[in-house]
Amino acid sequence: MRRKIWFPLVFIVLVAVGGLGATLISGNSPELGLDLQGGVSVVLEPTSDASGDALGQAVDIIRDRVDALGVAEPEITRQGDAIVVQLPGVKNRDRALELVGQTAELRFRPVLQDLTGSEVAPPDESESTTTTTAEGAATTTTTAGGSTTTTTAADDAAAGLPLGESAGAAQEPTTTTTAPPPTTTTAPGAPAEGAPVPLTSRQDDTADATVTLPGKDDEGVFQLGPTLATGQIVSSARAEIPQGQWLVALSMKGGADGIDTFNEIAAQCNPPSAVCPTGRLAIVLDSVVQSAPTINEPSYSKDDITISGSFGEDEAKDLALVLRYGSLPVELERQSVQTVSASLGEDSLRAGIIAGLVGLGLVALYMLIYYRALGLVMIVGVGISGALLFAIVSWMGETRGLALTLAGVTGIIVSIGVTVDSYVVFFERLKDEVKAGRTLRTSTERAFKRAFRTILAANISSFLGAAILWWLTVGSVRGFAFFLGLSTVLDVIVAWLFTRPVVMLLSRNRFFTDMPGFGVARGLASGQPAARQTAPAPGAGR
Amino acid sequence: MTDKTAATEAVTTDDGSGDGATAPKVKRRSIWTRLYHGETNFDFVGRRKLWFTISLVAVLIGIGSLVTRGLNLGIDFEGGVVWEVPAGDASVADARNAVDQFGLAGATIQELESDEGVELRVEAEPVSADTSDEVTAALADLTGSSVDNVSLTSVGPSWGEEISEKAIRALVVFLVLVTIYIALRFELRMAIPTLVALVHDVLITVGVYAVTQLEVTPPTVIAVLTILGYSIYDGIVVFDKVDENTRLVSSTGGLSYGGMVNVSLNQALMRSLNTTITALLPVGSLLIVGSWIMGAVVLQEFAIALLIGLFSGAYSSLFIASPLLAWLKEREPRYRDIKRRIDARGGEAAAVAAAVAAGSTVLGSGPSHQPAKTGAAAGTAEDTRVVTPAGRAIPPRPRKKTKRGGR
């Protein structure tokens, strides 16, 4: 019997103290959500129905992109159909937003005409029937052709023009020795036409349409043919600087879904054909031409494709990123953006913690006054719950990237109330039993059994609520639900492993039961020392 | 709280003379003492028409306001963009000029005082991601701060709808599951009042938001959903007691179902109050310390709804759910007959009083169909102790004359 009491008690105390100790020693602390430390949160949703697999893949790709940005501890999760990207403490916010936002399909389109320099009319986004125009011009101008053309691009390079550069170059060190050195080609802008060229709106930018799209940073305008391939054919891409000049080295996937497709395109562009009259292949992402290099070879080997030109380091790296991760299997749309400055986050955290501590203090005081020594049991019990919670949250922050958000902090504060409720239920039941004339000792076990039923029922319904919230909602509601649910589970565990044995032990100790003014008996309003039989209640009021 | 302390103090001083408590005496005790000992005798069930009317009026006012004025929904539900930036030297008019060029003529622009000086807040209808980035840059330019200091919150219109939809779906699923759970754990007739009480609490909270036109934000929704948890916790504590006391209902015992529910409510009253108080303290602290004193506005969004819901939850479990349960149960033939017989005999007031006076003594050990033997005025402790062993599987151990002498 004794062992039965002591074992769970020692166990839970050891676990709590051990967990807390290990957490503190290893320097872990709960990972703060971005509303507590500042940062950006973006919610993305597919524009059309997407399979779970596709979304999962999209999450992976976005994660890679964000990782490549060097954001510390980003959190990218799928919540239902939505993808939530949290970038706590991100430095270069706009760049991050832009990269995360670039979620559309990466498309390779032939350049029909380089309209750079032409006057441009912005697309009329409201009219989805806007048709792509200037088709007549499709076959007229060919500005850059030839397989090994080299034109100067110095001017463009100086201007940092990201799309004037370009050139595909193939080096096949093992097979042929005829590979030309990387070359630079610049397609000078097509002569301006009289009327402004209308740009294709985003919703009209479908894969099979002929479109007119702007270059990156609004530099240049291109008329492009139907999509020849998507980013799926790319297996990897990286920025390199082999000879003092940044370039992007590409690898294609093997087989029909990779290099074969690419070579078909290359054959059409070199020499230029009707499909690809300019010999240039545009890399289009999100209705923006990222780059439009000239294809210099009719055929490439899959690991030996480079795009060179007047790249700066950032441009080369961005292009590599886009090529590597540009192609998401679904089109995503930014649904919500939230940015929180670091100072605001800190203030909220401090306020939340202090409010929580004050609340806890008040509850403790109330319980002490009301239940006397049993109030102490509650305080220690809540302390144990707290230690376990802290250890679990820290641990999950470390291993699962679980972040403590303001909603989570609120969930925890709210759960103080729920946790204490369980003690109240137990102590009131104990009071009933003692009033019924039982000794405190005999009452404890009975009272706990009955009270535990109530606690369990109530906690199960709370947990049910938390679980449903977690399942069916997104964003901050989820964080809240998680912490509420976690505290519910801890509440039941602590009630069984800690409260029960402790109260049983205390009830056997006369020092605690009979201590004048503070003893358990006093707290339970049994008019006389608990060990003695008593009448239900002392009579005579004031 | 101080009152309660006073009450307990009073009991201490009475220690010596405490043995002779009898039912009639109960009436002379202070309300706090009776409350403390679960010996109050409020008529929760009998005056149910009054409570229902009060709630109905409150709910109707809320619904009326909801229909006529609607809720003051935040941008998270309606969609929109908010920029906040340290104002620097820029004025509202400057900001207006800056954003007008992006076609945001309808934007609301305010100056907000914060700890770190004046902030400009621009709120506008939803715009495209590109435009919002451009406005961010323009505002940063205008105020001379870096782009990263501009806090941007943007919510697409469909997203807001989706959030609301999800919340409502979560609410419905929650209600259904809880109904099932309670029906299994207790019985279906208990699930219905719980459900009614839940809907009541949600309606009251929403009603308060409609009347006061406080802004509804995602934290508000979270809070409302949490209230459900609380409300159920409260309800279960009470119903657990009712469930346990059900066997007291008998015509010979003089207790109808309604009377029994009333007894149970009075017994569980302190428990309900305590759970509510201990839940209110942290939430109140969230509102007063966190939000008002320390200025973390977000906390207020949680706390106000929680506070309203807590009060409503405590009220509804006592005044709505339980009387409703009694009413439902007394429609069952068995309990109706009991009620009729008792009424024929002149009511159950005495039995209720006795049961309350006997306190949880009888009921707590949950035995018998005959607690009322403790009878009209004779509900002394000794009596009940005699009765108990006749009861259930776990009779109290006969440790009457204990080893410990005490004082």
User: Does residue A439 sit in helix, strand or coil?
Assistant: coil
Q: Which two tokens stand for residue A29?
A: 């602390």
For B80-155, the fitting CATH number among 3.40.50.620, 3.40.366.10, 3.30.70.3220, 3.40.640.10 is: 3.30.70.3220
Q: What are phi and psi of A304, to 5 degrees?
A: -130, 60
* Last residue within a domain, chosen from A69, A84, A99: A99
d(CA B60, CA A480): 31
d(CA B94, CA B143): 9
Angle between helix axes B218-245 and A406-435 (nearest 10 degrees) is 10
Same domain, A374 and A250: no
Judging contacts by C-beta atoms under 8 Å, the chain A residues touching residue B277 are 366
d(CA A159, CA A153): 10
d(CA A155, CA A148): 20
- Kindly determine whether residue A464 and residue B384, on different chains, have CB atoms separated by under 8 Å: no
Judging contacts by C-beta atoms under 8 Å, the chain A residues touching residue B19 are 527, 534-535, 538-539
Rg, C-alpha atoms of chain B: 29
d(CA A16, CA A499): 14
Q: Which residues contact A369 (CB under 8 A, 6 or more apart)?
A: A375, B1, B4, B5, B8
Is the Cβ of A469 closer than 8 Å to some Cβ of chain B? yes
CATH number at residue A54: 3.30.70.3220
Which chain B residue's Cα is nearest to A528?
Answer: B15
Those of residues 350-369 in A touching chain B at CB distance below 8 A are 350-352, 354-356, 358-360, 362-363, 366-367, 369
Is the Cβ of A109 closer than 8 Å to some Cβ of chain B? no
State pLDDT tens for residues A248-291.
888 888 777 788 888 888 888 878 888 888 888 888 876 778 88
pLDDT at res. B87: 78
Interface A:B, Cβ pairs < 8 A: 361
Tell me if B12 sits within 8 A of A517, measured CB to CB: yes
Residue A540 in any domain: the answer is no
Is the Cβ of B180 closer than 8 Å to some Cβ of chain A? no
Same domain, A295 and A385: no
User: Which residue positions in chain B have pLDDT lower than 50?
Assistant: 1-27, 360-396, 399-407
- Kindly determine whether residue A421 and residue B275, on different chains, have CB atoms separated by under 8 Å: yes
DSSP H or E segment with residue A95: helix A93-101
d(CA A527, nearest CA chain B) in Å: 5
Tell me if A201 sits within 8 A of A123, measured CB to CB: yes
CATH number at residue A434: 1.20.1640.10
Residue A282 in any domain: the answer is yes
Same domain, A317 and A412: no
Please, what is the Cα angle at B307 between B303 and B312, to 5 degrees?
A: 150
Same domain, A378 and A311: no
Number of C-beta neighbours around residue B292 at 10 A: 14
Q: What is the DSSP letter of B48?
A: H
Same domain, A408 and A469: yes
pLDDT at res. B225: 75
Same domain, A18 and A79: no
Q: Which two tokens stand for residue A286?
A: 């999100």
Judging contacts by C-beta atoms under 8 Å, the chain A residues touching residue B381 are 437, 535-536
Number of C-beta neighbours around residue B187 at 10 A: 15
d(CA B342, CA B348): 6
DSSP string, A364-386: HHHHHHHHTHHHHHHHHHHHHHH
Same domain, A92 and A232: no
- Kindly determine whether residue B159 and residue A45, on different chains, have CB atoms separated by under 8 Å: yes
Q: Which two tokens stand for residue A104?
A: 């559309």
Number of C-beta neighbours around residue A256 at 10 A: 10
Is the Cβ of A93 closer than 8 Å to some Cβ of chain B? yes
Tell me if A293 sits within 8 A of A307, measured CB to CB: yes
The distance from CA A445 to its chain's CA centroid, rounded to whole angstroms, is 47
Tell me if A363 sits within 8 A of B277, measured CB to CB: no
CB-nearest partner of B404 from A477, A527, A532: A532
State pLDDT tens for residues B101-119.
887 777 888 877 766 677 7
Q: What are phi and psi of A284, to 5 degrees?
A: -115, 130
Tell me if A296 sits within 8 A of A161, measured CB to CB: no
Total domain count, chain A: 3
Residue A534 in any domain: the answer is no
* Fold match flag (B38-73+159-334 vs B80-155): no
Q: Which two tokens stand for residue A494?
A: 């602590």
Tell me if A97 sits within 8 A of B133, measured CB to CB: yes
Q: Is ipTM over 0.85?
A: no
- Total H helices, total E strands in chain B: 17, 6
The distance from CA A507 to its chain's CA centroid, rounded to whole angstroms, is 50
Q: Where are the alpha helices (DSSP H) in A120-179?
A: 154-159
pLDDT at res. B279: 85
CB-nearest partner of B286 from A339, A355, A437: A355
- Total H helices, total E strands in chain A: 15, 18
Same domain, A164 and A86: no
Is the Cβ of A331 closer than 8 Å to some Cβ of chain B? no
| Domain extents in chain B | 38-73+159-334, 80-155
CATH number at residue A184: 3.30.1360.200
Is the Cβ of A370 closer than 8 Å to some Cβ of chain B? yes
Strand partners, A289: A215, A284
Those of residues 337-396 in B touching chain A at CB distance below 8 A are 358-365, 381, 384-385, 388, 394, 396
Same domain, A217 and A171: yes
Rg, C-alpha atoms of chain A: 34
Tell me if A102 sits within 8 A of A318, measured CB to CB: no
Tell me if B96 sits within 8 A of B109, measured CB to CB: yes
The boundaries of the domain holding residue A46 are 39-99
- A229-232 contact pairs (CB < 8 A, 24+): A229/A107, A229/A108, A229/A261, A229/A262, A229/A265, A230/A105, A230/A106, A230/A107, A230/A108, A230/A327, A231/A105, A231/A106, A231/A107, A231/A285, A231/A323, A231/A326, A231/A327, A232/A257, A232/A327
User: Which residue positions in chain A have pLDDT lower than 70?
Assistant: 1-3, 64-65, 68-73, 89-96, 98-105, 118-195, 202-203, 286, 325-330, 343, 401, 474-476, 517-542
User: Could you tell me which of A403, A342, A337 has the C-alpha nearest to residue A37?
Assistant: A342
Which fold does the domain B38-73+159-334 belong to in CATH? Multidrug efflux transporter AcrB transmembrane fold (1.20.1640)
Residue A335 in any domain: the answer is no
Tell me if B264 sits within 8 A of B242, measured CB to CB: yes
Same domain, A427 and A494: yes
Which amino acid, residue B288? I
Q: Characterize B205-215 residue by residue with b for buried, 16 or more Cβ atoms within 10 angstroms of its Cβ, and e for exposed.
A: bbbbbbeeebe
Residue A502 in any domain: the answer is yes
- Kindly determine whether residue B177 and residue A464, on different chains, have CB atoms separated by under 8 Å: yes
pLDDT at res. A147: 33
Q: Which two tokens stand for residue A388?
A: 């376990």
d(CA B93, CA B111): 11
DSSP H or E segment with residue B387: helix B381-387
Is the Cβ of A203 closer than 8 Å to some Cβ of chain B? no
d(CA A249, CA A306): 4
State the first-to-last Cα distance of chain A, in angstroms, to the nearest integer: 43
Tell me if A310 sits within 8 A of A302, measured CB to CB: no
pTM: 0.64
pLDDT at res. B45: 81
Is the Cβ of B294 closer than 8 Å to some Cβ of chain A? yes
Tell me if A200 sits within 8 A of A209, measured CB to CB: yes
Strand partners, A223: A113, A212
Tell me if B67 sits within 8 A of B103, measured CB to CB: no
